[in-house]
Amino acid sequence: MYKIYPKTLFLGQIIQYLPSCQSTNDEASALIAQKDPAEGLLVITDNQTVGRGQRGNQWEARSGQNLTFSLILKPNFLIASEQFWLNMAISMGVYDAFQPLLGETLRIKWPNDVYVGNQKLGGILIENTLHGYGITWSVAGIGLNVNQTDFTFSTATSLQLQAPLPNGYNLPGLISRLCETLEQRYLQLRAGQRDALKKDYLGVLYRYQQEHTFEADGQSFAGTIVDVDETGQLAIASQGQVRHFGFKEVSFLKCESAKE
């Protein structure tokens, strides 16, 4: 059972807790399809069995040790081409909750991975329902590695690995704080404070304004992230020009070889 008392207007005020489910994003989408759920409804599980990630990947999280949840939002103040603004708001909401625990090593890797150094602490999967040019519903699915300390991939990390506590982290306490910071960022976006939101997002963006190696169209190249444009594409300056990339069009390379 989840008993949380976030200091929010709507986000996390209604909770659908499932001891186990396939995917909280799927559960949230089913609620949208069945009835008209309240904005801010939080779907959370201890044991997500078929968690979905970006690019068709799976999201694995050991039962009872991590946060796997989805929020139902109605960002009808955004048009379809502005979807990326919601990604920025959700990313920053997660950042704001975890930054006091992790400090300056915390970064958001475009478009919305949560990184500590070169390791992934969490991921975000936002699924929008579009109607014409508008967005009627969004499901913001968030997976954060909290108390798990061993992972299949060496590129994964957790809060407990990065900032250990003797008894680990209290999951309801963390989700409560996340509801507050996520709502603050969502309200910032809803109030039209886009410049401030984007400034903060760029300020914590992984590899922003540093030269690194990327890969696009099977070719690696040196470049520097200089912006994220209005449509959410990554702008990379390379050899005197600025190239814009969509989500699946560019990879970050580690040193010389492995793709991240």
111 binds ligand BTN (CB under 6 A): no
Indicate the length of the chain as a whole number: 260
In contact, 107 and 121? CB cutoff 8 Å = no
Instruction: Give 142 or 189: the residue with its C-beta nearer to ligand BTN.
Output: 142
Q: Please tell me the distance from the alpha carbon of residue 230 to that of residue 155, in angstroms, as a whole number.
A: 30
Q: Please tell me the distance from the alpha carbon of residue 109 to that of residue 124, in angstroms, as a whole number.
A: 11
Give the alpha-carbon dihedral of 95, 71, 87, 32, to 10 degrees.
180
Looking at 32, 41, 125, 161, which residue binds ligand BTN (CB under 6 A)? 125
Counting residues that bind ligand BTN (by CB under 6 A) gives 20
In contact, 2 and 172? CB cutoff 8 Å = yes
Instruction: Give 145 or 176: the residue with its C-beta nearer to ligand BTN.
Output: 145
23 binds ligand BTN (CB under 6 A): yes
Smallest distance, ligand BTN to C-beta of residue 39, A: 18
123 binds ligand BTN (CB under 6 A): yes
Write each residue from 31 to 70 as x if it is in contact with ligand BTN (CB under 6 A), else as -, in one continuous string.
-----------------x--xxxx--x-x--------xxx
Q: Please tell me the distance from the alpha carbon of residue 254 to that of residue 260, in angstroms, as a whole number.
A: 6
Sole window of 100-108, 122-130, 197-205, 246-254 interacting with ligand BTN (rule: CB under 6 A): 122-130
Q: Which of residues 129-148 bind ligand BTN (CB under 6 A)?
A: 141-143
181 binds ligand BTN (CB under 6 A): no
Q: Please tell me the distance from the alpha carbon of residue 189 to that of residue 90, in angstroms, as a whole number.
A: 10
User: What phi and psi, each to the nearest 5 degrees, are found at residue 162?
Assistant: -85, -35
Residue closest to ligand BTN when measured from CB atoms: 123
Tokens of 107: 């970064």
92 binds ligand BTN (CB under 6 A): no
Instruction: Give 15 or 124: the residue with its C-beta nearer to ligand BTN.
Output: 124
Sole window of 19-27, 30-38, 166-174, 207-215 interacting with ligand BTN (rule: CB under 6 A): 19-27
Instruction: Give 25 or 91: the residue with its C-beta nearer to ligand BTN.
Output: 25
DSSP characters for 64-129? TTSEEEEEEE--TTSBGGGHHHHHHHHHHHHHHHHHHHHGGGEEEETTTEEEETTEEEEEEEEEEE
91 binds ligand BTN (CB under 6 A): no
Tokens of 176: 């409560």
Q: Which residues bind ligand BTN (CB under 6 A)?
A: 23-25, 48, 51-54, 57, 59, 68-70, 113, 123-125, 141-143
